[in-house]
Amino acid sequence: MSDAKAKIALITGANKGIGLETARQLGALGITVLVGARDLKKGEPAAAELKKQGIDARALKLDVNSEADRKAAVEVIEKDFGRLDILVNNAAINLDQGAALETSTTPAKTLRDTFDTNFFAVVELTQMLLPLIRKSKAGRIVNVSSAQGSLSLLAPKGSQIYATKTFSYDASKSALNSFTLHLAHELQATPIKVNSIHPGWVRTDMGGPRAPLGLVDGAKTSVRLATLPDDGPTGGYFHMDEALPW
């Protein structure tokens, strides 16, 4: 059992990229971080890297699409910590990327596979962990979305992302934003806060080398929403301190 005073955070897809940097920044605040990774052979070195920096980090096998992994993760967290203070739903895929897919020719399988990871897995994992989050004095749920999940930003000509139309990915992030709104409404009378975030265009495997933001900046919005004070917002959609339109 960990120090009862230390907050416990689970970050999915945390063995690299924005997820790992989010774990690093949360850990630097004295928060115990569970490094969710589909492959423990990648998660354990990531956790070891954080430990070398004085962070209380632990790898947790968690393929978000695996019901068995989700159940096992819940059992481990309940047994070892008894609660969960922070959940950062970071794991995601973009199967449209680099495929030159048009909306009219996007295969149904691409849509289903994308939604399985970016939406259904997030909903199911969050629902399974919610009893443990309810045991926190101030639970925080951060859904890592994208500006491309904003219909208001995608629609108007002249928008910076108007020309970026990746149907499966965009639609899955719009659905994720809807989940954020609905769950935040349900939990509005509790101390739990639920928000969506846009990390920015970040230099990662998904973002590519031309992206203007590095990992440190890419993780800042998740960390901010994961550590909100009691009077912080819920049911919002943010990049840094800026509220984004749905």
pLDDT tens, position by position, 146-186: 999 999 999 989 888 788 889 999 999 999 999 999 999 99
Q: What pLDDT sits at residue 189? A: 97
Q: What pLDDT sits at residue 40? A: 95
Tell the residue number behind the tokens 């070398």, with chain if given.
52
Clarify whether 162 is annotated catalytic.
Answer: no
Number of domains in the chain: 1
Torsion sign across C-alpha atoms 213, 220, 40, 120: negative
Average pLDDT, the chain: 92
Q: What pLDDT sits at residue 4? A: 45
**Residue 218 tokens, joined:** 């890419």
Instruction: With respect to residue 151, please indicate whether it lies within any of the assigned structural domains.
Output: yes
Rounded CA separation 198/90 (Å): 11
Instruction: With respect to residue 218, please indicate whether it lies within any of the assigned structural domains.
Output: yes
Instruction: With respect to residue 1, please indicate whether it lies within any of the assigned structural domains.
Output: no
pLDDT tens, position by position, 81-137: 999 999 999 999 999 866 667 899 999 999 999 999 999 999 999 999 999 999 999
Q: What pLDDT sits at residue 96? A: 84
Q: Is beta strand 8-11 parallel, antiparallel or unpaired with respect to 86-89?
A: parallel
Instruction: With respect to residue 79, please indicate whether it lies within any of the assigned structural domains.
Output: yes
**What range does the domain containing 171 cover?**
8-243
CB contact set of 14 (below 8 Å; sequence gap of 6+) = 20, 22, 23, 33, 34, 35, 36, 37, 43, 46, 88, 90
pLDDT tens, position by position, 11-46: 999 999 999 999 999 999 999 999 999 999 999 999
Q: Which residue has the higher pLDDT, 106 or 216?
A: 106
Catalytic residue among 5, 42, 157, 169: 169
Q: What pLDDT sits at residue 99? A: 60
Q: Is the pLDDT of residue 205 over 90?
A: no
Q: What is the mean pLDDT of the segment spanning 214-223?
A: 85
Q: What pLDDT sits at residue 3? A: 43
Instruction: With respect to residue 66, please indicate whether it lies within any of the assigned structural domains.
Output: yes
Q: What pLDDT sits at residue 212? A: 54
Instruction: With respect to residue 212, please indicate whether it lies within any of the assigned structural domains.
Output: yes
Clarify whether 169 is annotated catalytic.
Answer: yes
Rounded CA separation 33/104 (Å): 42
CB contact set of 50 (below 8 Å; sequence gap of 6+) = 20, 23, 24, 27, 33, 35, 57
Instruction: With respect to residue 42, please indicate whether it lies within any of the assigned structural domains.
Output: yes
Catalytic residue among 41, 79, 109, 173: 173
- String of b and e for 207-243 (b: at least 16 CB within 10 Å)? beeeeebebebbbbbbbbbbbbeeeeebbbbbbeeee
CATH of the domain at 234: 3.40.50.720
Instruction: With respect to residue 87, please indicate whether it lies within any of the assigned structural domains.
Output: yes
Task: Give the residues across from 9 on adjacent strands.
Answer: 33, 86
Q: What is the mean pLDDT of the segment spanning 51-75?
A: 98
pLDDT band at 211 (very low <50, low <70, confident <90, very high): low
pLDDT band at 75 (very low <50, low <70, confident <90, very high): very high
